[in-house]
Amino acid sequence: MEKIFYPESIAIWGLSNRENNIPRLMLENLIRWGYEGRLFGIHPKGDEKHVDGVKMYRHIKDLPQQPDLAVFLLPARLIPGALREAGEFGVRRAAILSGGFNESGPEGEKLAEELTAVAEAYDIRFVGPNGLTVANTANGLCLPFTPTFKTPRGGMSLVTQSGGMGLFLWHLMADENIGLAKFASIGNKLNVTEVDCIRYFGKDPDTKVICLYLESITDGRKLMEAASEAGKPVIVYKANTTSAGSKAAMSHTAAISNNEEIIDAAFERAGILRIEEFDDFIGAAKIFELPPMRGNRIMVMSPAGGFTVLMADLCEKAGFEFADPGEAFYEEIAEFTNAGVISLSNPLDLGDIYDPASTASVINLVLHNDKVDGAVYLTQNPQMPKNDDVFNKMFKTDISKEVTGAIRSSGKPMASCLYGPSKTINRVKQNVNVPIFNTPESMIRIMKLQQRYHAKRTEPAFTTSLPPDIDMDAAASWVRSHPGTHGEEALELLTAFGIPVATNQTSATADDAVAAAEAIGYPVVMKVISPDAVHKSEAGGVLVGLKDENDVRNGFDTIRANLDAYKKNARFDGVRLMAMAGNGHDMFVGGSVDDSFGPVTLFGYGGIYIEVFQDAQTVLCPSSPHEIETKISRLKSAKILAGTRGKAAGDVSGYIDLIHRVTHLMAQFPEIQELDLNPVRVLEDGSGVIALDARCRIEKRSQGDRT
């Protein structure tokens, strides 16, 4: 990666003096940005001596030295051959801007495979194809071909799958007085990926904030690992979040799982900050210029009472706690007020303080108060008739020097939002040393992002360990011998993993069912066994409260008739008799396998209305009891588990343990593509949990596939 961003020499393929030559625009960007390395031009059919002073060659073998970086902007069909020639000459780094590869159909797919094979054969690392590749403000490297002036140097490094989105952000950054460190437009990311960029930028001294615009995540686990190790804010805008279609799923879990929820769970564990607004890239770069907000106590300030109310609403919705600076603080700032007609509190209405020096003093006192962790401030610079009146002084006086001093002295952040004519505000942004936000909504949203980041950094690193009392050999044997879709026989697998299940027996005849019920003890539950009725309730295949032999015999006949009515000629393998569980709360636990992040577990409110309420949380597998407990507290049904309306609390610790075991089960056996435990009865009064029903889908794999 170092040679990609800091090449001492560059060879540009396809360069010519033709008016419409795109590689020439790239060359002019390099010259305009001040790149000082050596440049070579290559054009196999060209007869020009030079292009903009850069000497031209027909073949790379004619170059006087081996270039550090080969840059290609040629028709896609020519790229594999050109890269092979570069590899034979010893080039090991490349930037490929050309489109027409795996984004463009079967022929492009073949070219992509050929390109990848050439790169592997010669140990070449390349950025692209189908992207603007790289730029570096530290050395003037600028390979995007769109004509551009050098963007200001700063601490944001940007990784994007869309070159156009990246260039758009450059222009926003210039207006907002935000500088760029490095830029990577990775396009189809056939070789260099966002993970490579995060790892490199994490060690890059110029990069303070790593921002990513992603349309796909190929290897979510590696992304998490790289972000966790970066030691810097990693901020992601994930596009391509909706789907035009849906697929049928065997389990409730797969039916309600959502890739975005999985991404959120993964990002939370890794400390990745996800933004929903594209402009928040700018806000994120600004907020991390400020000192860290090390607690959650915020002070809200504005000279306009309406703005304090608006911001207070936003802060509460964001999850901030309003700071209480104490009576002594309010008594001290009361000395700065004019008429004493505004009650001083948090949010703090400064409308009765006309003197800018007094406002600066209040800000200083706020930031140096031990009970305040950070502040937000909203004011305006309106267009007014020029005069020496009190309001011109109030709104037009620059106190940014005093504010900057208070921020740096206190080591606490204050985010500021300024309203007024756009020309005035843009001028202010270019001339002050504190970041100015455009709206209170974005300011407070991003302030919370910063606070969350620093709070996450104080937490212990994520760790987990295998729960006790697991028969791994029995579990592995069961998984190997049960490929395909299964119903309640999956309870046998759960038992091997130490997951409590209701006492049960299977019966093929009514006589056997009676014997099983008597062995278990009345009352019992009877459930159909049929591969054609995975969701038993829908098939009328569940009967509860059977209290004697007569109920069991009648129930056997009823279930068989219901199955036949549900699906003609459905296979009937008998019934399963189960002990009736005690009173409690019906929850669910399920697992599935995500293409990018691997096995995940969902849990939440269960029973027959699971897909109606969709009250669920997601964790990656394996999880930890602490992570699971945190997620359970976010369920809407958490209050139900805690006991409500006269119903006793459930055994939450037992539920946590069961979920924890499922996460390790899914992690140990990736063959389990779907797992559904519904309902899981969380018994009252802390007396345990029981999985009452289960189903799973297992994909047969060779032993070598186990990871």
pLDDT > 90? residue 47: no
468 cis-preceded (ω within 30 degrees of 0): no
Its CATH class, for the domain covering 1-134, is alpha beta
pLDDT > 70? residue 576: yes
Start-to-end CA span in the chain (Å): 29
Residue 301 per-residue DSSP state:
E
Q: What pLDDT digit, counting tens, does each position of 245-302 carry?
A: 334 344 444 444 458 899 999 999 999 999 999 889 999 999 999 999 999 999 999 9
Q: Give me 290's structure tokens.
A: 């400020």
CB–CB of 297/371 below 8 Å? Answer: yes
CB–CB of 257/600 below 8 Å? Answer: yes
Q: Which helix (H) or strand (E) holds 504?
A: strand 504-507
pLDDT > 60? residue 156: yes
| pLDDT value for 219 | 92
Place 41 in a pLDDT band, splitting at 50, 70 and 90.
Answer: very high
CATH of domain 151-289: 3.40.50.261
- SS3 labels along 452-498: HHHHHHHCCCCCCCCCCCCCHHHHHHHHHCCCEEECCCHHHHHHHCC
Place 353 in a pLDDT band, splitting at 50, 70 and 90.
Answer: confident
- SS3 labels along 247-272: CCCCCHHHHHCCHHHHHHHHHHHHCC
| pLDDT value for 397 | 65
Its CATH class, for the domain covering 297-425, is alpha beta
Q: Give me 336's structure tokens.
A: 């700065």
Rounded average pLDDT over 2-13: 97
Q: Give me 230's structure tokens.
A: 């970066």
pLDDT > 90? residue 396: no
Q: Which residue has the higher pLDDT, 706 or 458?
A: 458
Q: How is the chain split into domains, by residue range?
A: 1-134, 151-289, 297-425, 503-579
CB–CB of 90/63 below 8 Å? Answer: no
CA distance 614 to 92: 51
Q: Report the phi/psi class of residue 130: left, alpha or beta, with left for phi > 0 and alpha for psi in -120 to 50.
A: left
User: Average pLDDT over the chain, rounded to whole?
Assistant: 90
**CA–CA–CA angle 434, 439, 443 (5° rounding):** 55
Rounded average pLDDT over 430-457: 93
Q: What is this structure's pTM?
A: 0.89
Its CATH class, for the domain covering 503-579, is alpha beta
Give, in order, the Cα–Cα distances in Å from 597 to each of 260, 266, 621: 11, 8, 9
Q: What pLDDT digit, counting tens, does each position of 540-568 carry?
A: 999 999 999 999 999 999 999 999 999 99
Name residues whose C-beta falls within 8 Å of residue 553's C-beta, 6 or more positions apart in sequence: 510, 513, 514
CB–CB of 442/280 below 8 Å? Answer: yes
Q: What pLDDT digit, counting tens, does each position of 49-79 carry?
A: 999 999 999 999 999 999 999 999 999 999 9
CB–CB of 267/273 below 8 Å? Answer: yes
Q: What pLDDT digit, counting tens, does each position of 496-537 carry?
A: 999 999 888 999 999 999 999 999 999 999 999 988 887 788
| pLDDT value for 170 | 84
Domain 503-579 in the same topology as domain 151-289: no
Q: What pLDDT digit, counting tens, does each position of 603-612 carry?
A: 999 877 777 7
